[in-house]
Amino acid sequence: MLDETGIFDLISTSLLFWEMITFAILLVLVAYFVYPPIRDQIQKRQAEIEGAIDEAQKTREEARELLTEYRRQIEEARGEGRRILEDARKQADAQRERTKKEAREEGDRIVQRARDEIGRERESAIRDVRREVAGMVIQASEQVLGRTVDHDEHERLVAQALDDLEAEVAGASTGSGSRTA
């Protein structure tokens, strides 16, 4: 021993000897039992993470494709819907127009029928009234004259008077726009 204090134990053969042996053993043990499992674990996790990232990218790609597909389908469906709606609207319009037209025609027909009926009724009423009036006038004339008047002649006169009256009435009513004409 060069230095008895031990601070500068330059040649401590025992320490040097055991140091080399100990360090060699430690190195071998650590290199065989410690580093490989840690390396494998790290590599495994790295592979897993890379796999997960790839998977995520693939999934995202798929999702993007699906989204595009869905958008396209939605666009198609929307177009289809619009078209159906348009058709329905057109059909409805056509139907409405047809119904309206039919209704108008039916109404016109009803009105026309009513008019015809009214015209017929009026004609018949006028005929009745004339007949009645003529009868009554003849009767009154017979009573006033006290004799039988020529029936045919009389009737003619009455009809003429009535015609005149009628013409007068007609002339008066055209000014007020009568619909009975």
Nearest-approach distance from CB 59 to another protein, in angstroms:
21
- Give the count of alpha carbons within 13 A of 168, CB side only: 6
Nearest-approach distance from CB 9 to another protein, in angstroms:
6
Task: Tell me which DSSP letter residue 110 carries.
Answer: H
42 or 167: CB nearest another protein = 42
Query: With contact defined as beta carbons under 8 Å apart, do 165 and 133 qualify?
Result: no
44 or 96: CB nearest another protein = 44
18 or 70: CB nearest another protein = 18
Task: Give the interface with another protein as residue ranges (CB under 8 A).
Answer: 1, 4-20, 22-23, 25-27, 29-31, 33-35, 37-39, 41-42, 44-45, 48
- CA dist 123 → 115, 127, 158 (Å): 12, 6, 17
5 or 176: CB nearest another protein = 5
- Quick one: tokens of 132? 């009645």
CA distance 162 to 135: 13
Nearest-approach distance from CB 48 to another protein, in angstroms:
7
